Amino acid sequence: MQFFDIFPTLQEAPYSYLFVPLMLISSIIGFYSKSYFHALILHPYEIARGKRIHTLLTSAFIHRNCWHLLFNAFIIFGLGYDMFGTISQEYGVHTAYVLTPLLFFLLIILPNLFQTYQKRKDFYFTALGASGLSFGLYGFSALFYPLQPMQNSIVPFVNSAMQSWIFGLLILLLLAQIKNSSINKYLHLSAYLIGTLLAQIVRPQAGLEIFTAILS
């Protein structure tokens, strides 16, 4: 058994193989270099005052611990592969090569902009990690082909991608009600919805399919 018998090839998931190793290497450097870590961390208070704008992007390349890093690496690799594949299927591989990195960029920047606005007056708040990209990819993947059949042994009543998206949204809304949580729940929720919106923009037919499914 060879490596590519289990994992996608470089041609099938080019940006997964590019982004995830860069994130792993950068995060490991951040674990050991405080100056590097603090240079990349997101600080909404400063961004709102025109400083450290680069951290809207660079904060995705550092993490607080190994578990946080590995979770995001696993999700981004798999759903990045899915994004590239679905765009290739719908519009061709050349479009996927151009559109996928743009969507990665937006799914990092836009949730961080939302977070910056929300925390712009909080001097002590900082954020880091690629969870915005992870949850944005979830939202995008679930509603790009909303009527795609699905089977889930854990949640047996989920039978389609759209139902999976609804279930994911309900979980995120419930988590948002938990007070004093260390989880950046509002970032996760905003990223999930931004990913959903981008899926509808990239494939407008998805919205029609959802509308038809609701009426039927």
DSSP state, residue 61: G
**Do residues 76 and 16 make contact, with C-beta atoms less than 8 angstroms apart?**
yes
Structure confidence by residue, pLDDT tens digits, 141-175: 999 999 888 776 666 677 888 988 998 999 998 88
The confidence band for 111, taking pLDDT boundaries of 50, 70 and 90, is very high
Res. 199: pLDDT tops 90: yes
Please report the pLDDT score of residue 213 as a whole number. Answer: 78
- Counting residues of the chain whose pLDDT is more than 70, the rounded percentage is 94
**CA separation for the pair 196, 104 (Å, rounded):** 13
3 state SS of 99: helix
**CA separation for the pair 140, 182 (Å, rounded):** 25
Structure confidence by residue, pLDDT tens digits, 63-73: 999 999 999 99
Res. 23: pLDDT tops 70: yes
pTM of structure: 0.92
Q: From residue 76, how far is each of 104, 207, 211 by CA, in Å?
A: 10, 24, 29
**How confident is the model over 24-50, as a mean pLDDT?**
96
Mean pLDDT of the chain, nearest integer:
91
Res. 74: pLDDT tops 90: yes
**CA separation for the pair 185, 169 (Å, rounded):** 12
Q: Give the domain 9-215 fold.
A: Rhomboid-like fold (1.20.1540)
The confidence band for 62, taking pLDDT boundaries of 50, 70 and 90, is very high
Res. 4: pLDDT tops 70: no
